[in-house]
A and B are shown apart, each in its own frame.
Chain A
Amino acid sequence: MRPSRRITITASILLIFCLTGSVLLLQRVDRERNAATLQEVLYISSPTLLKRMSLGYDGLLADIYWTRAVQYFGDKLQRGSEHFDLLAPLLEITTTLDPHLLVAYEYGSNFLAPKIPGGAGQPERAIKLAEFGIRNNPNQWHLYYDLGFIYYMELKDYADAEKAFADGAKLPHSHQVMSIMAANMAEHAGNLQTARLMWMTTFQITHDPMVKANAVAHLNALQVDEDVPLLEELVSHYREKTGHLPRSFSDLTAANFLRGIPVDPLGHTYKLMPDGHVEVRVPDDLPFIEKGIPIGYIPPRKPKLPAVN
């Protein structure tokens, strides 16, 4: 074998060996490093400084920061974390770098506003983000919808929600639901029908399967919250009429209080408890319900959302 050929073979083997070694060592380093130190750091927290440092390529940097915000939120949600300290700063940086990145306002406020474990539980930061979005994109009715939605759902602030919907309704090409929402805020704020209308609208206007699934889960929860008090009312009517509590829903059916055994939106039968209360059978499948929760039930750290195509 010629010396040059021997060197080539030796160097090639050594190269492959070193490459494999470096990959394995890097994996080991990743395992040894604390995940928190890798995640919870914003090396440059000033959006203005970042904008200047981007040398005019701020659009690409905004996309990178938006992806980072999505990954951060998704990872925290997956792990059932209760701390989303970097989410709002990441979204602020993203929107300062690209004030017209509508997707960051629409999804970002939906990440920030809902209570933990479904979101970051920071509705005030979500409102700040949505308002910043409206200032920079005053003709986008979606942003007014998001703002009104946060005021309504998270803060129960019906006056500000009405104002947001009414302002959005005035825009050209605004969705007709905006004026309906504004009117509902004035007359029927806080009732289930209004909440149902809002989630239906969210389901219809979004293209994202996750948002759709979230809307379906909330619509299911609203259905349960409406069914349970009605069923409990029937149970108390039965008690008034017969002097004792029904043992099962069959008793109510036999007494013509019900046409059949009632089922929740997922098709599971409701449970009638011995004390006359009504509970859902599979609470894990019905996140966000406020009525019919079994006593002592501890919800999973990550809400289970239905599959939506």
Chain B
Amino acid sequence: MAARAIWKGDLKLNSTKVPVKLYSAVQDQTVRFHILDEKSKTRVKQHMVDAETGKEVPNEEIQKGFEVEPGTFVILEDKELESLEPEASREIEIEQFVPADEIAPEFYDRPYYLGPDGDQNAYFALAEALRKSEKEGVARWVMRKQQYVGALRAEDDHLVLVTLRPAEEVLSAKDLPRPAGRAPDKKELSMAKQLIELLKGDFNPKDFKDEYRARVAEFIEKKAKGHAPKLHLVKSKRQTTSLDKVLSKSIEALKKQKRAA
């Protein structure tokens, strides 16, 4: 089933415009529950109450406050909050390009696919140019009253736009001390390298399944039909032996597996 575009705009590079439609690349598969009143098995609603008296406070009387000192709040009016909103625009400005592997994984947030909105030649030519140059564009745009910075990338033949987190929201390992403790010796390092080499392969995301989600869905299906399966708690074990013994054992076991395969 084809997806619906959530936004439309123009990619702007210099004076060149490429009209695009924006689609969410994520499809949420989370098993979603409703909160129910246990007695009546009906859905609950939420409201805000005075924490002390428990009396309901209607929406139009609620104020928003920002805590400046413990117990002291600055009230912010809706009008003031609206004045902080960026000006609406239909342009996705691309002013800079960086190597495609320059931005660290922790900055990537939400991915969107872009689709051509008219000029297909320009759309696919831009994707091809990005791929050939091994670059990604740094994009800025305003969507739904929110300012975004994102990475414009080629994903095979198509264009994707991945929003980037503000620098303030990302903790950097460079500001942290390296972990304490004794450094591993040469023998351990060479065995660990061997072991990891044996486990090395391509990134095939389809090899990994959300087993838990599948089990929850299956349980719900069975219970809906009236026969809920009995469930038992599973406990995991933990072993303790010396590091190099475990390393050599692991290498042996993996080599055997590979020979057998």
- The judgment on whether A and B are partners is no
Contact surface of A with B, Cβ cutoff 8 Å: none
